A and B are shown apart, each in its own frame.
Chain A
Amino acid sequence: MGDAKTANRTDVNKDVLVEVKGVSKYFRVSEGILKAVNNVNINIMKGETLGLVGESGCGKSTFGKVLMGIYPPTKGKIIYHGKKVMEVSKKNLFAYAKVAQIIFQDPYSSLDPRMTVGSIIEEGMVIHGMYDRKKRQERVYDLLELVGLNREHANRFPHEFSGGQRQRIGVARALAIEPEFIICDEPISALDVSIQSQIINLLHDLQKKLDLTYLFIAHDLNIVKYISDRIAVMYLGNIVELATSNDLYARTLHPYSQALLSAVPVPDPSKEAQKNRQILVGDVPSPINTPPGCPFAGRCPRATDICRQTKPELEMKQGHLVACHHVEK
């Protein structure tokens, strides 16, 4: 089965761009230890879009920041297999920032209001000592046109732009230093529906044109499904299921993924009326001092004693990587 092969590309071959090996990120808080990201193993393949979904507080943004090198991981390591091969660490951070970039959720707070758009886009190139001044200026214009703005915009300030245009500026800034890998941390959740599709189309076109690899973090499942090749579902800092996006929707295996997908309302009244919505009880538990066992056991309709005692490993079952005791091999 072709899907089985693509879902589990665990062997490190030349197609892997970012290798995430047992990465955890803990924060010490007054009540104990907050496990924001817990033992995550993922290989991000060259040229793919990996979607990462989960509810707020599940650790998806923290994972994005660990992957960007903003937070050093508590355990585990991240190995980058791009043009240069390196382990992402404090020492390599500067070199890594040359190949990996991030697009933030909020296009309002992520652009310095006192800098012109041109200097915002140029800044990365200056820091990395790329090109001379004239060539940089040229590139700023090219980038503005690439993201669907025009060169006159270079002398303006961020407040003169709408949310969608600002997000385009954020994309241009990320592209300025010619990265291979871009982390999109909820790049469209702050935008209106009609503007969202503009940005999605832009990201899609750029990926084809520039051969980019995306980690696409979002909570809007319909959009993630549309843009991603593979999707990882995260719950309380753990990856609970990983599969190709079509396969995840067609045969959802993990009870949490099932509940998450069924909770999403679709814009179609008759489908909504027929839908057998699975409503989860309770809220996401606190990630501080988590009990042993499956992180989802407290809300899971299928939980049994084994779920409360031993934590299921992320294993290959029916073509998906899934962490659940109750999914048959």
Chain B
Amino acid sequence: MNKVLEVKDLHVSFDTYAGEVKAVRGVSFDLKEGEVLAIVGESGCGKSVTAQTIMKLNPMPPARIVSGEIILADKDIVNASEKEMMKIRGKDVSMIFQDPMTCLNPTMPIGKQLTEAIRHHQNLTAEKAHEEALRLLEIVKIPNTKQRARQYPHEFSGGMRQRVMIAMALSCAPKVLIADEPTTALDVTIQAQIMDLLKEIKEKTNTAIILITHDLGVVASMSDRVAVMYAGKIVETGTAEDIFYRPSHPYTRALLKSLPSVDMDRSVRLVSIGGTPPDLLNPPEGCPFASRCEHAMKICRAQMPPEFIPEKNHKSACWLLHEDCPKPQVGGDK
């Protein structure tokens, strides 16, 4: 399968009055055609900043790409100008956001907003573009497309607005679709509808999807590969099975254990991770999770662990996986 996106050692910082906030600190991953990569992590771990940097949507300054490469369709876009980015956004990579309420223009009918996006990238007549808009609305399963296209965003429900956003993101058949918490603002029954739609679209169009979420249930339901982020770094990557059944990083393990499963009794205590994530103004030198990790050793505080490979395609940045480390502590104790 072709690689459609490759991010290499990306560092993103924000220059604030308090100092330099190192939001993303050396993130690398790649994405293949038709693949769903989930980036999971808690708020403030840098997952959304990573996504916004791929789209170059974060205002620069205060944001700044310190170093790294973002290779999209065989081209490094780190130094691309805003004019070039306007062509890339929507065509090569597009994004859907958490809050469908604020992402649509409230003063413009849905159909017109869609037509605008289509005509920006494709040389179509107004009429053709309108037809295309109706076709897209049908793909995302909005009934009575003709009538709905004339309506304004406030006449749509949250789930319907998210469908419109998806239609808009798909309007130019992008190779990569970034979904930043696409269902967080929606109710569970609507969430199920939207997840279903995304899966269907992926199968039909072979679009690669980066799914950014904090909900491990959503991750399990649709991702092929998972990257777990913590304090601006990817601490573990692997297939969904690797991450859920054979997690090797203590953070991933603690995260999975902190969720109550359906068959869990109340007498079983939930595992909680004490403390809070580190302040990214002064990130620690060693492993960022060391201060909350029950297995932390001397070296963890002093030096960032490299990526170890416990299994094929499964990477984990933790000193416990070093060959000199005593083994019994590590293991898939789920």
Interface residues of A (CB under 8 A from B): 55-56, 162, 164, 192-198, 200-201, 204, 219, 221-223, 225-227, 249, 259-260, 262-272, 277, 279-280, 283-284
Contacts and interface: CB of A to CB of B under 8 A. Distances in A.
B192 interface: yes
Nearest to A227: B266
B70 to A, nearest CB: 27
Nearest to B240: A269
A267 B244 contact: yes
B262 A249 contact: yes
Contacts of A164: 276
Interface string B241-284: 10011000000001110111110101001111110100000000
A265 B241 contact: no
Interface in B188-225: 188-193, 195-196, 214-222
Contacts of A221: 188
A223 B271 CA distance: 13
Contact of A269 (B220, B266, B270): B220
A226 B269 CA distance: 10
Contact of B196 (A222, A227, A279): A279
A201 B272 contact: yes
B100 to A, nearest CB: 13
Q: How large is the interface on B (under 10, 10 to 19, 20 to 34, 35 or more residues)?
A: 35 or more
Given A193-B255, A194-B254, A223 B260 contact: yes
Given A162-B276, A192-B214, A193-B214, A55 B189 contact: yes
A266 B262 contact: yes
A195 B221 CA distance: 23
Contact of A222 (B219, B222, B241, B262): B262
B262 A265 contact: no
A194 B188 contact: no
A193 B42 contact: yes
Given A164-B276, A194-B272, A279-B196, A264 B220 contact: no
Nearest to B243: A269
Given A192-B42, A193-B255, A197-B258, A265 B272 contact: no
Contact of B189 (A162, A249, A266, A280): A280
